[in-house]
Structure 1
């Protein structure tokens, strides 16, 4: 019989196998922070089909290197902009990241908890959850509420066994040749529990 903490993960896998799709994350993982669902930011339908094999050993944190957003209206528009670029210009099946963080302090659903992202290359995408902060953080830190939102999301994933108990957080530059997640965000990231270069 499954441990109680594993039941949400097993339910996600069962829904995927049955072709039921992914329910909105806040309904799937109780006791977690609010997550702005795809329906609310008016996402295009996803064409992604490849599930992640949960629980995961890694989380990769990046920045989008684009425009920041400071209000729900700005962040929802920025989500649509990013998704449009990733799908229409780059030809990907959806927005690249599993979750995105706005400087409004909100967490935005990308591919969600259980669909493989396109955030860190072919080696890391299948084994990690991709979280990206909207904006460019080379020369400034994200707003404190954005940092708190990301840490709350990580605690949620850990509480519901989306991650292995000793999972590792990596900066995007730790796994690919890139400036992401920006010097200032990278410096903050190195102080987080579970960070490992």
Structure 2
């Protein structure tokens, strides 16, 4: 039985308006897992300011149209809507048009991803497939698989097989 995922909307976390949005053509066939490489957080109260600061940094310093990720997840499994479903992100250079970017909040070179965060991302992926937002045969990558980076950190990268077992 499918569990639904409670997603904190952009309105709930106080997102600034995107400068522009590009709609995806079809359901993405790839999911790219990232870490923010910042401190970890839990819940709406604990993560709201961090998500706002990530959006501000992406838009002002990196000149993105919005926060780069489609979704972000806190240590307690709270999922935050970044660009959301069906919107091209700015998370993996050269691979954004056909992928969904999900960032775990924290630095997983040091931290270990929580069972709650991994479980929420599994549910998010299942929900995305069931609502036709994500291709049923999607392939899951760590950011380092598609670019020269240590992202998503050693400990989260080591946990990716647990997320791949959602199908």
Shared fold, TM over 0.5 = yes
Inter-CA distance 67–140: structure 2 relative to 1 (3 Å threshold): closer
Within 2, Cα distance between the matches of 1:112 and 1:179? 25
| Number of residue pairs matched by the alignment | 165
Q: Does 1:59 align with 2:34?
A: no
Contact 2:42 2:78 in 1 (8 A): no
3-state SS of paired residue (1:91): coil
Q: Please give the alpha-carbon distance, in whole angstroms, between the structure 1 residues aligned to 2:163 and 2:74.
A: 19
Question: For the residues of structure 2 that align with 1:194 and 1:172, how far apart are their CA atoms?
Answer: 18
C-alpha contact (below 8 Å) 1:72/1:104 kept by paired residues: no
Write the mapping of 1:111-190 to structure 2, written as runs, cut at 5 A: 111-122=83-94, 124-190=95-161
- TM normalised by structure 2 equals 0.93
Query: CA distance change for structure 1 residues 87 and 127 in 2, over 3 Å: closer, same or farther?
Result: same
Mapped partners of 1:40, 1:165: distance in 2: 29
CA distance in 2, matches of 1:165, 1:70: 30
Q: Does 1:92 align with 2:45?
A: no
Give the CA deviation at 1:31.
6.5
Counterpart-to-counterpart distance in 1, 2:43 and 2:14: 16
Across the aligned residues of Structure 1 and Structure 2, the Cα RMSD in angstroms comes to 1.7
In structure 2, stretches of 5+ residues that fail to align are none
SS of the aligned residue for 1:76 comes to: helix
With CA pairs under 8 Å and 6+ residues apart, which has the higher RCO, 1 or 2? Answer: 2
| Counterpart position of 2:52 | 80
Runs of 4 or more, structure 1, over 2 Å off, are 190-195
Which stretch shows the higher mean deviation, 185-194 or 103-112? Answer: 185-194
Q: Please give the TM-score of this superposition, normalised by the length of structure 1.
A: 0.79
Shift of 1:164: 1.9
Which residue of structure 2 lines up, in the alignment, with residue 192 of structure 1? 163
C-alpha separation in 2, matches of 1:194 and 1:169: 10
Q: Any idea what SS the aligned residue of 2:141 has? A: strand
Measured after TM superposition, the shift of residue 39 of structure 1 is 0.5
